[in-house]
Amino acid sequence: SQQGEEDPQALSIQEGENATMNCSYKTSINNLQWYRQNSGRGLVHLILIRSNEREKHSGRLRVTLDTSKKSSSLLITASRAADTASYFCATPGKEGAQKLVFGQGTRLTINP
Amino acid sequence: DGGITQSPKYLFRKEGQNVTLSCEQNLNHDAMYWYRQDPGQGLRLIYYSQIVNDFQKGDIAEGYSVSREKKESFPLTVTSAQKNPTAFYLCASRSGGAGGEQYFGPGTRLTVT
């Protein structure tokens, strides 16, 4: 049961540029989360945005949430080679909030 | 140093053998999760547990079993009934209430030949 879908599936940019990834979801949510996964590693939580928030910042990360369009975006400013990773959005499953449903992810490559 | 540990990092088994993947956490979290990830794909939920001695099936539970005898431990057994067991397995625990952020272990890559 897929809830979030990321777009694009893959993104390649030059170091220093900004990277934007989008996530669309299907059902009503009370929060949306973004995670990062370096190759062959576990996921790391980046940011959680609640349904009553429109924008949230954390360092070079900016997340927006538009509940009317059921979509969210993750912006990474001034990208670095270390930002190369896969990024996933996750939302609470429709059966209840005890579990998260993850999208397929965006694979981001930062070229030096 | 708190966190989630999974062992081993790489595991190789012959087809037809059951194998148990370990997951331990010292974060004092009640809820724990097992996910499967195939190459280039997202995470799919296998089983989850909200409290000791209780667990629920996720989206792809067939061919897997779990136990939750201790708060710190949530082992996953991949049985011979699992048709395509080769994958990357991730364990996680949840901070706070329902819908809260999850903390992930480093994963176990299982290869069955």
For testing contact with chain B, the best of A3, A98, A101, A106 (most B CBs within 10 A): A98
DSSP designation for A106 = E
pLDDT cut 70: percent of chain A above it: 92
Q: Kindly report, residue by residue over A13-49, the tens digit of the pLDDT.
A: 999 999 999 999 988 888 999 999 999 999 999 999 9
Q: Which residues of A touch B36 (CB under 8 A)?
A: none
DSSP-assigned states of every residue in A33-98: EEEEE-TTS-EEEEEEEETT-SEEEETTEEEEEETTTTEEEEEE-S--GGG-EEEEEEEE-TT-TT
Q: Please give the helix or strand (H or E) that residue B73 lies within, else none.
A: none
Q: Answer yes or no: is pLDDT of A1 > 50.
A: no
- C-alpha distances in Å from residue B108, one per residue of A101, A105, B15, B37: 20, 20, 17, 10
Gap between the Cα atoms of A22 and A88, Å rounded: 10
Cβ A48–B106 below 8 Å, yes or no?
A: no
DSSP-assigned states of every residue in B11-47: EEE-TT--EEEEEEE-S--S-EEEEEE-TT--EEEEE
Cβ A88–B90 below 8 Å, yes or no?
A: no
Nearest to A45 among B31, B102, B105 (CB): B102
Cβ B42–A104 below 8 Å, yes or no?
A: yes
Cβ B99–A100 below 8 Å, yes or no?
A: yes
Lowest mean pLDDT among A49-58, B69-78, B88-97: B88-97
Q: Kindly report, residue by residue over B35-86, the tens digit of the pLDDT.
A: 999 988 899 999 999 999 999 999 999 999 999 999 999 999 999 999 999 9
- Which residues does A contribute to its contact with B (CB < 8 Å)? 1-2, 30-31, 33, 35, 40-45, 48, 88, 90, 92, 96-105, 107
Q: Residue B95: its pLDDT value, please?
A: 81
B20, B75 contact by CB (below 8 A): yes
Q: Residue B97: its pLDDT value, please?
A: 78
Compute the mean pLDDT over every residue in chain B, rounded to the nearest whole number.
Answer: 94
Gap between the Cα atoms of A44 and A76, Å rounded: 15
Q: Residue A11: its pLDDT value, please?
A: 97
Token digits for A72? Answer: 């969210």
Nearest to A99 among B48, B88, B104 (CB): B48
